[in-house]
Amino acid sequence: MNPQELLILKRMKSAIDSGRVEDLCTSSLKVPIEEFTDISIFERELKTLFKKYLLPIAASDEIAKPGDFLCREVLGQSYILTRDKDKKVNIFRNVCKHRGAALLECETKGNQKAISCPYHAWTYDLSGKLIGVPEKSVGFPNFKESEHNLKPMPFRESAGYIWFCSEEVPSSFGALDLFAEEWKNYELASSVSHFQSQTLVNFNWKLGVNAFLEAYHFNSTHPGSVAPYYVNNRFVFDKYGENAKISLPMSSILEQFSKLSPEKWEFRKHVNLVYFIFPGSFIFVLPDHTTVLSFQPLGIDKTRVFADFRILPGPEKSERYWQKNIDLFKKALKEDFEISESIQRGLASTANRFFTLATFESPIQHFQNSLNTLRS
C-alpha cells in the first residue's frame, strides 16, 4: 500500500467512525429541473462538452492485431477504428471521401488489409491511405490520391481504452494524465473484456452520471444486488479539476478497521475506486476487475450507456464466479436505470422546480458546479 492509499483509508475510517462524510460541501445545493428538460442547455452541453471532452470509444484489445478494425457509433456519429500494419491505432470518420457513403456498417468488426466503399469501391488501407479508385484514368484527370486520404482523428490510449474527442481540435487529454500512474499500478491496460453492452435509456445523461456520484442510495435502491457489499453513504471524495475520484469502502473493510492496526491494513481488497472522467465516463476499479461506463447523450431524455466488465490480471477464477459478478453488475445497472427513468418521467409532472442535493452528495455538487462553469 502506498502513502496515498493509506491516507485514503485513514480518511475513510474517520468517515465511518464519525458517522458522516467529510465536509467538502457546507450547504445543500438546489438544482433547477430545467437542467434535465431545457433543450437549449442540452444543446450547449453537446457543443461545449461532448464535442470537446474525452470519451472512451473502444477498448484497445478490441483491435489488438494489425489488420483489426471495427466501426462504432458515438453521439450519433459513426467512426472506424483500425490497427494498421505498423500496429498503430487510427480513428476515422466513417465517411467516404468520394461522395460520402458510409464505408462500414455500425458495429462491423474484422481483420483485413483494406476497407472498400460499398458505393463505387474506393479502397483505403488501414492507415487511411486511398489505395484504389476504379476507373481512375478514365474519369479523374490529374487525380491526387493524397488529397483524398481518410483523416485520422486525435486520440489517446489509457487504462486499456481508446479515448477520443469528436471535434478535431486539441482536447482535454490531461484528464487521463491525472490518473495515469494509478491506472498503471492497477494494471488496467492489461484488463480483458468479459462482458460488454450498449443500452438505450430514456433519461437525460446527467441523471445517469448523478447515480454514480453518490453512495446515498445503495441500501434503498440496491438491497438485492450490490448494497450488501458496500458501506452505505460513507466514502472519500477527491476532486481533480472537473474530474473526480471516489473511494468507496466495501463492507469487508469494517473488520479490518476494527481488528487491525493501520500498518496491517490492505487497500485494494476493500476499496472500490470510482474514477469520473468529465463529462460522462467512469472507470470503476475493484480488487479483481474493472468496469468502464460511459453516458452518451442522444437526446434530452435519451442516452446510450456503454458498459464494459473487464477482468484484471491475477489468479484464475471460475466462469461461475465471473458470471455471478456480471449478473450483479447488470442487476445494479438496471436498478439505477429504472430509477433514473422514473425521475425523467416525473420531471414532466412539474411536481418539482428544483432538486436538493445534500452536503454528502458533494461529488454531484462538484459536477453541477463544473457544468455551470464549463458549458457557458
CB atoms within 10 A of CB 46: 16
Among 79, 92, 122, 295, binds ligand FES (CB under 6 A): 122
136 lies in the site for ligand FES, by CB under 6 A: no
Least spacing, CB of residue 134 vs ligand FES, in Å: 8
Phi, psi of 330 (to 5 degrees): -65, -40
Q: Of ligand FES, Fe ion, none, which one does residue 98 interact with (CB within 5 to 8 Å by kind)?
A: ligand FES
d(CA 5, CA 247): 10
Q: Of Fe ion, ligand FES, none, which one does residue 99 interact with (CB within 5 to 8 Å by kind)?
A: ligand FES
Alpha carbon 329 to chain centroid, angstroms = 15
Q: Identify the CA nearest to 80 among candidates 125, 143, 138.
A: 125
Query: Based on CB atoms, which residue is closest to Fe ion, 45 or 336?
Result: 336
Give all strands of the β-sheet with 114-116 in edge-to-edge order. Answer: 114-116, 123-125, 130-132
- Please count the helices (runs of H) and the strands (runs of E) in the chain: 9, 19
Least spacing, CB of residue 221 vs Fe ion, in Å: 6
Among 81, 117, 130, 188, binds ligand FES (CB under 6 A): 117
101 lies in the site for ligand FES, by CB under 6 A: yes
85 lies in the site for ligand FES, by CB under 6 A: no
d(CA 33, CA 348): 10
Among 119, 140, 143, 321, binds ligand FES (CB under 6 A): 119
Least spacing, CB of residue 101 vs ligand FES, in Å: 4
Q: Of ligand FES, Fe ion, none, which one does residue 235 interact with (CB within 5 to 8 Å by kind)?
A: none
Cell of 116: 472498400
d(CA 236, CA 213): 11
- Residue 250 and residue 270 in contact, taking contact as beta carbons nearer than 8 Å: yes
Least spacing, CB of residue 232 vs Fe ion, in Å: 11
96 lies in the site for ligand FES, by CB under 6 A: yes
Footprint of Fe ion on 318-357 (CB under 5 A): 336
143 lies in the site for ligand FES, by CB under 6 A: no
**How many angstroms separate the Cα of 197 from the Cα of each of 210, 235, 326, 357?**
20, 28, 11, 30
* Secondary structure (3-state) at 252: coil
Least spacing, CB of residue 97 vs ligand FES, in Å: 7
- Residue 282 and residue 274 in contact, taking contact as beta carbons nearer than 8 Å: yes
Phi, psi of 274 (to 5 degrees): -115, 110
- Residue 61 and residue 193 in contact, taking contact as beta carbons nearer than 8 Å: yes
Q: Of Fe ion, ligand FES, none, which one does residue 101 interact with (CB within 5 to 8 Å by kind)?
A: ligand FES
# residues contacting Fe ion (CB under 5 A)? 1
Q: Of ligand FES, Fe ion, none, which one does residue 114 interact with (CB within 5 to 8 Å by kind)?
A: none
194 lies in the site for ligand FES, by CB under 6 A: no
Single out the segment in contact with ligand FES by CB under 6 A; choices: 86-94, 112-120, 172-180, 350-358: 112-120
Q: Site residues (CB under 5 A) for Fe ion?
A: 336
Q: Site residues (CB under 6 A) for ligand FES?
A: 96, 98-101, 117, 119-122
